[in-house]
A and B are shown apart, each in its own frame.
Chain A
Amino acid sequence: MPQVGQGILKGMGVTLKHLFGQKITRQYPEYKRELPERSRGMLTVDMDRCIACLQCMRICPDHCISIEQVKRDADGSGKPKPFAVGFVIDDSRCMYCSLCVEVCPVNCIYHTEEFEAQAYNRLELARQFGELPVDPRVDPKPTVKKKKKPTGKKAPKTVEKPRTGDEAA
């Protein structure tokens, strides 16, 4: 009999202590936590260093980088080199995998500490870096050397698979 209700009273004591206790909520827009080292924010490009090698465009799994490449004598050496006149990063597609950062030979593409992107339109999330705008809706088609077609035999007709339902939706 003496222990009847003791558990409830103990629990209510804990809640009462919490009621007047220090609150642990951090009010987000006013208080921002320091980001951890090597955190991956939105990408940015240093266009002065870019050599338009298109490696980032090729490796991107989401096709979110598009580069418009021309030959131009930018440094005055008298020899035209590849130059990126248009450079767009579509943040609506980017998945922050950091492959482009790893592959860049001159370290000109890198993550910032920005991570709050919002827009009313998907296209507003595409950020232009070059002199000319690039249409982010067009999938970038990097020049890939084609494999030689096997000569002679025609390629077998592709047999239409029965629908499994996976491709719907």
Chain B
Amino acid sequence: MQTVLNLLEVEPIRLLISFGAVLFLVLNLAAVLTMAERKVSGYIHLRFGPNRVGPRGLLQPAADVFKLFTKENVSPGRSDIWVFLGAPIAMFLPAALVWLVVPFAPNAVVANLNVAILFFVAITSIGALGVVMAGYGSRSAFSLLGALRGAAQMISYEVPLILSLLGVVMLSGSLSLVDVVEAQGNTIWTWYFLPQLPMFITFYIAGLAEVKRVPFDLPEGESEIVGGFMVEYSGMTWALIQAAEFASMAVMSAVTVTLFVGGWQPPLPFLDLGNFNWVWFGIKTALIMFTFQWIRWSVPRLRMDQLMDLGWKILVPITLIWLFVTAGAILIF
């Protein structure tokens, strides 16, 4: 056991093993989260959700994956086929890449970049490219409408998302996610979500919009543009888009936890689990993901102008004001 643990310290082996673990996590997240989504939706509707395949329906994701793999992949006749097929990949890759810098536990991070927050911001904004590619490549009116909405929304909400990160960066004095977590300390009242409460709420809302979840699912817009940018996708390409959405949702929750809710830090010092502190990280991330799903089944979709108003007229001013408040507080104390 000790030799195995020592092996984890050796550089190329540690990188490969952690990379494999992250890959395994990302590829399975979509299936697990689909299951969770359907169960939560069922319970909120006073239904049971899927409960026929396996014990309590737990094998449902396997059945879904099997179905999607055997399904034909249809593309529209006059679509731009390379752009059409490239779009799901362009959506999935950014969501998967951000996991490389998310710290699960003190040493459990694939790459401890000293500019991890910058990396996160840069990579998540690539996600908009996939949406535009999907809408353009499908050559369908609904797809194009969805893509245009997606581009407008994702680029607008980048601004409050980045601005709300700056408070944390100012407090911790570092762009590395590991340093941010360590600066937050192991008590619940020293985590950043208390002094940075407006920033936390802004980041949460902007993150919700960034991953295109309800109430900001205008690019998808099921009731008006029947699926938006993904209306022409079927089979595994559709599954990849779904996987990308769930992966980016998970990544957004993980980054929220890392930046504001103390990452792997236990809520109270005596709850420290040592090497198993990743359990705390998992619990917090799961809670945030649950609130994403809870909001999805409670809140109706915003109109396009309301969405833009919320982003530019409310969230950006709030972040700017709190940025000054934080700067002043750092200067004074």
User: Which residues of A does B touch, CB under 8 Å?
Assistant: 8, 11-12, 14-16, 18-25, 27
Contact = CB atoms under 8 A, between A and B. Distances in A.
A138 to B, nearest CB: 42
Given A8-B298, A8-B299, A15 B44 contact: yes
Contacts of B298: 8, 11-12, 14-15
A23 B43 contact: yes
A25 B294 contact: no
B7 to A, nearest CB: 44
Nearest to B299: A8
B45 interface: yes
A69 B235 CA distance: 57
Contacts of A21: 46
A23 B44 contact: no
Interface in B30-44: 40, 43-44
B240 to A, nearest CB: 30
15 contacts: A8-B298, A12-B294, A12-B295, A12-B298, A12-B299, A15-B44, A16-B294, A18-B44, A18-B45, A19-B43, A23-B43, A23-B46, A24-B47, A25-B47, A27-B48
Nearest to A5: B201
Contacts of B44: 15, 18-19
For the residues of B in contact with A, the DSSP-based class is loop
A6 to B, nearest CB: 13
A21 B47 CA distance: 10
A23 B41 CA distance: 12
Contacts of A15: 44, 294, 297-298
A25 B295 contact: no
Nearest to A4: B314
Nearest to A13: B298
Contacts of B295: 12
Contacts of A27: 48
A131 B17 CA distance: 75
Contacts of A14: 298
B40 A19 contact: yes
Contacts of B299: 8, 11-12
B48 to A, nearest CB: 5
Given A19-B43, A21-B46, A25-B47, 19 more contacts: A8-B298, A11-B298, A11-B299, A12-B294, A12-B295, A12-B298, A12-B299, A15-B294, A15-B297, A15-B298, A18-B43, A18-B46, A19-B40, A19-B294, A22-B46, A23-B43, A23-B46, A24-B46, A25-B48
Contacts of B40: 19
B4 to A, nearest CB: 42
A125 B175 CA distance: 72
A148 to B, nearest CB: 63
A15 B294 CA distance: 8
Contacts of A25: 46-48
Nearest to B291: A12
Interface string B19-60: 000000000000000000000100111111000000000000
